Amino acid sequence: MVESNAGSYTGMRIGIDLGGTKIEALAIDNDGNELLRYRVDTPRDDYAATVEAMAALVRRIEKETGKTGTVGAGIPGSISAKTGLVKNANSTWLNGQPLDKDLSAALNREVRIANDANCLAVSEATDGAAAGPNGTGGEWGHIPLPWPNEEENPGPLCYCGKRGCMETWVSGTGLARDYKHVTGKQRTSREIIVDFEAGDKDAIEAVDRLEDRLARGMSSIIDILDPDVFVVGGGLSQAKHLYERLPKRLPQYVFGGEADTPILPAKFGDSSGVRGAAWLWPLTR
C-alpha cells in the first residue's frame, strides 16, 4: 500500500522560493536531480495574486511532468506558532496572512512553509556544502553587530524596526551603503567586489570593513553554538576571497583566540533556497 501526502507517490518534490521580486519553482527527483524550473515576477503588494502565482507554478510543473509532487515553500519571513500567520516578512504584504493554509487550499494538499534562510540551510545540509549528520546553518541577520565602534553605533535602520542588525552591514546592500557613506561614491556591491579584485584602495578598505564585521558576527555564533561549518549564501557568497581571508580573522574575536571553523560557499548558490524548500519533505522511502 502506498501512503503519501500527494496521492500515489511519485518521488517528485517541488520547491518554491518566494522572493520580493521573483517567485521560482523547481522540481527535483528522489536523488536531488533537477527536473524543471520556472520563474515569474512576484505580484508585489497583492497577496491573493501571490498565492495564485505560487499555485500556478506548481500546476505548470505537474502538467509538464505528468507527476504529482510534494510542495514546500521558502518565504522571506516565517509562520508564527502563536497566530499561524506570516510574520517578519520584508515582503510586507505577506504579513498577517495564513499563507500555508491558503496555499494548501489552492493546491488541495498540505504545503510546508519555512523561512528562506532556513531553506538554504536545509538544502546545504541535505546534499550541499554542509552535507553530513551535523550539517547545520542559520540566520543571524537580525542580531546586532557585535563590538560596534563609535561609527557603527547605533547603525543603519533595518526594515525590522531596529538599528544595526547584522544584515544591514554584511549584505550586498550593506556593503554598498557603507562604501557610499565613507567614499561618497555610489557603487553596487558587485562593482565594489570587481574594484577590490583590481586593487582599488576604496574598495579594498570597504571589503576589509565588511570582512571584519562578518568575522565579529561569526565569532559570536562560534562562542554560542560552535558550528561545524559556516555556509554562506546570497549575492556576496560569490566573492571568492571571503573563503580565504575570513577564517584568518575569526581567532581575534572568538573567546580563547582559537577557531578553525570552515567557511564555505553554498554549493547550490542561488538555487539553494528553492532546493531547500523542496527538501522540506525529506526522504522517507
134-140, long-range: CB within 8 Å, 24+ apart, which pairs? Answer: 134/228, 135/228, 135/229, 136/225, 136/227, 136/228, 136/229, 137/227, 137/230, 137/231, 138/221, 138/225, 138/227, 139/115, 140/166, 140/217, 140/220, 140/221
Contact between 165 and Zn ion by CB under 5 A: the answer reads yes
In the complex, minimum distance from the CB of residue 139 to Zn ion, in angstroms, rounded to a whole number: 11
Which one of the spans 54-62, 79-87, 161-169, 178-186 is the region binding Zn ion (CB under 5 A)? 161-169
Which one of the spans 87-95, 142-150, 169-177, 195-203 is the region binding Zn ion (CB under 5 A)? 142-150
Beta partners for 165? Answer: 144
Using DSSP, state whether 49 is helix, strand or coil: helix
**Contacts with 85 (C-beta within 8 Å, 6 or more apart), sequence order:** 79, 95, 96, 97, 98
Residue window 203-242: x/- pattern of binding to Zn ion, with contact defined by CB under 5 A: ----------------------------------------
Contact between 160 and Zn ion by CB under 5 A: the answer reads yes
Q: Which of these, 137, 139, 135, lies nearest to 160 by C-alpha position? A: 139
Q: At what angle do helices 242-249 and 201-225 cross, to 10 degrees?
A: 60
In the complex, minimum distance from the CB of residue 81 to Zn ion, in angstroms, rounded to a whole number: 20
Contact between 89 and Zn ion by CB under 5 A: the answer reads no
Which one, 79 or 158, has the nearer CB to Zn ion?
Answer: 158
Which one of the spans 23-31, 71-79, 138-146, 200-208 is the region binding Zn ion (CB under 5 A)? 138-146
End-to-end alpha carbon distance in the chain: 13
Which one of the spans 96-104, 152-160, 184-192, 249-257 is the region binding Zn ion (CB under 5 A)? 152-160
Which one, 40 or 221, has the nearer CB to Zn ion?
Answer: 221
Number of residues that bind Zn ion (CB under 5 A): 4
Helix intervals (H) in the chain: 47-65, 99-107, 116-127, 166-170, 172-183, 189-197, 201-225, 242-249, 272-278
d(CA 49, CA 105): 14
Which one, 140 or 243, has the nearer CB to Zn ion?
Answer: 140
Which one of the spans 13-21, 90-98, 153-161, 221-229 is the region binding Zn ion (CB under 5 A)? 153-161
Contact between 157 and Zn ion by CB under 5 A: the answer reads no
In the complex, minimum distance from the CB of residue 160 to Zn ion, in angstroms, rounded to a whole number: 3
Which one, 218 or 274, has the nearer CB to Zn ion?
Answer: 218
**Contacts with 224 (C-beta within 8 Å, 6 or more apart), sequence order:** none
Residue from the set 37, 142, 163, 209 that interacts with Zn ion by CB under 5 A: 142
Site for Zn ion in 16-55 (CB under 5 A): none
Backbone φ and ψ for 149, nearest 5 degrees, come out as: -85, 180
Contact between 158 and Zn ion by CB under 5 A: the answer reads yes
Residues within the interface to Zn ion (CB under 5 A): 142, 158, 160, 165
